[in-house]
Amino acid sequence: METDAKIYVAGHRGMVGGALVRRLRRAGFTNLVVRTSTELDLRNQAAVADFFAEEQPDYVLLAAAKVGGIQANSTYRADFLYDNLMIQSNVLQQSHRHGVRKLLFLGSSCIYPKLAPQPIREEYLLTGPLEPTNEPYAIAKIAGLKLCEAYRAQHGSNFITVMPTNLYGPGDNYDLENSHVLPALLRKFSEAAAQRLPQVTVWGTGTPRREFLHVDDLADACLHLLRHYDGALPVNAGTGRDITIQELADLVAELTGYTGEVVFDFARPDGTPRKLLDVSRLHGLGWRHRIGLRAGLEQVLTSADWLQATQAVATATT
């Protein structure tokens, strides 16, 4: 990849897209193309066609998506399915039509069956029922992965697919209703520590196990794959290590200085019992994560991004 190649990063304002932009710039790439959702609605077929005709990117990184946690996925099921299907279909079709040299599609570990054997290998896709709470989002991502495969098989398009595990880091969403479990816990415990609350309630039983990857590690993995991988098979991106939600809550409480009681609400859904990715394919391609969970969370809690997010929350609640 020449450093002056034109690279379109779809979704650059999101957590993943922002990390991709930072990593590419750090690697010396100077010709990045970005658009906000106001400037370019990726659900609009004609608008996407016009954009590709005008910009003619060499590479496309498709990180744009409608994302959220259990609550958001359960509430906005139609939006999660429709928006993501339209975004993916439009970008992939125009990338094919305009002959991009390579496209990287970012999926999600939620595409795998709810009760898949652990750790989850890429070939377990479509071998069992999905987790019901995020089924619409998962179906959309599966469709995107299969569309990449279809363009490759029919047209020879160099579209590669990456399936990240649970992510955290700069640009995360800390909304208690619509965020994922880790940013929600960071906000809950941080506020509880500041207000000296005697108790914090965490959804579910605390027994599900989750794997977490710092978003800057994911961006580094994506750049590595852009440079070194041209295969048809999807690639899992993760750490190969997981932790229970209870252990995660205890770690977040420690790092935020919360000393009160942690209570689990068994009436709330747990989601998938365990979701640990088999990352042997990525390791075989020469990449491993660098940022451990404790170190990554310490970075988050001292970052300008976190301070800005918590100040915004504090202002909204006063």
| Catalytic residue, candidates 8, 59, 112, 137 | 137
Residues near 129 by Cβ (< 8 Å), separated by ≥ 6?
113, 114, 115
Helices (H), the chain: 15-26, 45-55, 70-75, 77-97, 135-155, 181-195, 215-228, 245-256, 280-284, 293-301, 304-317
258 catalytic residue (yes or no): no
> Known binding site for NADP(+): residues?
11-17, 106-109, 141, 164-167, 180
Amino acid at 66: K
Residues for the chain: how many in total? 318
Query: What is the gyration radius of the CA atoms in the chain, in angstroms?
Result: 19
Please check whether residue 101 is in contact with residue 125, taking contact to mean a CB–CB distance below 8 angstroms: no
> Known binding site for substrate: residues?
188, 203, 210, 270
Closest CA to 10 of 48, 51, 63: 63
> Known binding site: residues?
11-17, 106-109, 141, 164-167, 180, 188, 203, 210, 270
In whole angstroms, how far apart are CA 241 and each of 139, 150, 179, 210? 25, 32, 22, 8
CB-count burial class (<10 Å; 0-12, 13-18, 19+) for 22: middle
Coil vs helix vs strand at 211: coil
Please check whether residue 218 is in contact with residue 164, taking contact to mean a CB–CB distance below 8 angstroms: yes
Residues near 46 by Cβ (< 8 Å), separated by ≥ 6?
none
Which residue shows structure tokens 């999101």? 14
Catalytic residue set: 137
